[in-house]
Structure 1
Amino acid sequence: MIDRRTLMGATLAASLAARASAQTPPPVKSGALPAGLPQPVETIDLWPKGAPGAPKVPLVETVNERSTDPQLTDRAVFGISRPRLVVFRPDVPNGAAVLITPGGGYKWVVIDKEGYELGRWLSARGFTVFVLFYRLPGEGWAAGPDVALSDAQRAMRLIRQRATHYGVDPERVCAMGFSAGGHVCTDLVARFAAPTYAPVDAADALSPRPFCAAPIYPVVSMDRKNAHPGSRKLLIDDNDALEAAHSPHLNIAANSPPCFLVHAEDDDVVPVANTLMFRDALKAKGIKVETHLFANGGHGFGLRKAIGKPVGIWPELFLGWAKSVALI
């Protein structure tokens, strides 16, 4: 005999399993992967009926392996037509979630260095992590330069909608982004309330505002002097009239969330001025911000390139800050 509670639990488990199996798998590339690196399998498609405003020519999702070391993957994906979250669940949840937007200069989205490696590190410390594979603005989407922000807004709402399922507090969702993914992150900080897409279901009634945010060596400004040229080209092309609208430091809201900023002063890809301008804009609005600048570190250090250097302390500094703002 099966009691009613057991039956309901089994039905719910079956429903969740069916939902998971129906989702688009994580970006993959054929070939052997290093032993001992668990690859995530759980995903959440952002758009149940397909992403809005698709390009006329269908995209082909492509994963490139940029590493020549067989023991260290460095994959990047472009042609993303089914934007999705890849989930890293902790063994012991601390109740907080982190939405990660990896970099890639808006040319592609990095998988390992600023995605899965951070997913593993943060989930090992109790965070439930969602790595976002967002659509790229240069690939013909109708939303143009707002397309990645649309995906980030939708992702925040879905995380909140499923908070009970993942054992997280729907209020305690942090956004963390790197390089061009840092632009997605800072854009979310500044313009979380901007109506960038038509609502598609009940999740869109929820707030996309992060509880807090951690832009790491972020692209921020779109002015020609300080912008990362590749990101600017793919985001707004040569349209100077769009610079201000897509420079997050010029669009900070009065209720934008507190931020944790990290940058290396010798960054020769994204000038440290991007972080400094963003900090100044937050301070001008009275928004709490903690800033860490390192003399050396270059660009794109993530976790792997920071090992053994002073900049390598940034993840621990983030944990301390997360406690100070009550994320954990």
Structure 2
Amino acid sequence: MFDRRTAILGTLAGGLAAPALAVAQTAPPRIGATTPVPGLPEPDETIDLWPKGAPGKLSPPIVETVDERSKDASLTDRAVHGISCPRLIVFRPRIPNGSAVLVAPGGGYVRVVIDKEGYEIGRWLAARGFTVFVLFYRLPGDGWAAGPNVALADAQRAMRIIRARARDYGIVPERVAAMGFSAGGHVVGDLATRFAAPVYAPVDSADRLSARPDAAALIYAVQSMMPALAHPGSRDLLIGPDASAASAATHSTANNVSAQTPPCFLVHAEDDSVVKVENSIEFRAACKRAGVAVETHLFTNGGHGFGLRRAMGKPAEAWPDLFLAWARTQGLG
């Protein structure tokens, strides 16, 4: 089972370039000093998003904590909370194809699930030529001044930094996609529809660049904040349990789709009992109304949070290859 799982999760080590450690940047979280799973390299290259610290600093400061949730020694499932230094974790391919993907893991806005919806897809995409940046974003429930826009601010800043450093990574600035899972799908949906919203004060020349992704992949994404469709936990942490209908509408991504929204790729399982499939259906309908190109894959079986590892043997197992095929039609890869 481990051999098959390793194969599906990546060509995981074979397509990765040797890491280049970024100087004076916040390190990725670790549990212990050794590589958790032999053969799966831990990333070492990071980019802090905010050179003078994240705006709206908390007092007292929060402490970043990593929890290992897996009971399987051959498969990590780490989740991080208390993120006060948002950053990008970089996966470089051995042979760059000129395209990049910003990846926002999920976690219900309680945590950021870094293995299942971050590092695994990072290794998988890097093995296929993409330069991947996994986003450690701040969580709205921690009390940041930006409130429900705090993760969007980090995502906008991340896109601008990727473009500002495109030459360093062999990236074409017009070939930067974003991919989000579950609540991270809401972050990316927000980014795809509100990329120009002024949610933070510019800090350097990178902020003159566009934050619009050239394509967006929303995987079993939280989209709606309206009570009938919302994932309750994500809604409560993003806008509060007593949020007004106006606030819920503002932060429901389908309401913000416009002709400027980039082409979108949607994946959802119809048996998802955590985030209703209607979240993706509603977003697709909004794209169609706005004339935005959208490809949608609804699977009969897959549940929620399948990523790569939990899709195996289910109809949803096809989604990564479908994404690659779609990405090529968008000039990526």
Q: Do the structures match in fold with TM over 0.5?
A: yes
Q: How does 1:148-163 map to 2 (within 5 A)?
A: 148-163=151-166
Distance 1:34 1:322 in 2: 30
Partner of 1:305: 310
Q: Secondary structure at the match of 1:21?
A: coil
Partner of 1:213: 216
Of the three residues 116, 119, 141, the one matched with 2:144 is 141
Partner of 1:29: 31
Partner of 1:12: none
Deviation at 1:146, TM superposition (A): 0.1
Does residue 199 of the first structure (1) align with residue 202 of the second (2)?
yes
**Kept in 2: contact 1:83–1:151 (CA 8 A):** yes
Q: How does 1:1-328 map to 2 (within 5 A)?
A: 20-30=22-32, 33-237=36-240, 238-240=242-244, 241-328=246-333
**Kept in 2: contact 1:209–1:257 (CA 8 A):** yes
TM-score (norm 2): 0.92
Unaligned runs of 5+ in 2: 1-19
Query: What is the identity, as a one-letter code, of the residue corresponding to 2:247?
Result: L
Query: What is the identity, as a one-letter code, of the residue corresponding to 2:29?
Result: P
Deviation at 1:30, TM superposition (A): 2.4
Deviation at 1:29, TM superposition (A): 2.1
Alignment root-mean-square deviation, CA: 1.0
Deviation at 1:179, TM superposition (A): 0.1
Deviation at 1:31, TM superposition (A): 6.1
Query: What is the identity, as a one-letter code, of the residue corresponding to 1:116?
Result: Y
Query: What is the identity, as a one-letter code, of the residue corresponding to 1:78?
Result: H
Count, aligned residues = 311
Cα deviation digits, residues 71-114 of structure 1 (max 9, x gap): 11000000000000000000000000000000000000001000
**Kept in 2: contact 1:191–1:253 (CA 8 A):** no
Cα deviation digits, residues 45-88 of structure 1 (max 9, x gap): 00000000022220100000111111110000000000000000
**Kept in 2: contact 1:163–1:170 (CA 8 A):** yes
Distance 1:157 1:284 in 2: 28
Percent of residue pairs identical:
68
Q: Secondary structure at the match of 1:36?
A: coil
Cα deviation digits, residues 220-245 of structure 1 (max 9, x gap): 00011100000001000121231011
Distance 2:239 2:165 in 1: 34
Unaligned runs of 5+ in 1: 1-16
Deviation at 1:253, TM superposition (A): 2.4
Distance 1:300 1:224 in 2: 21
TM-score (norm 1): 0.93
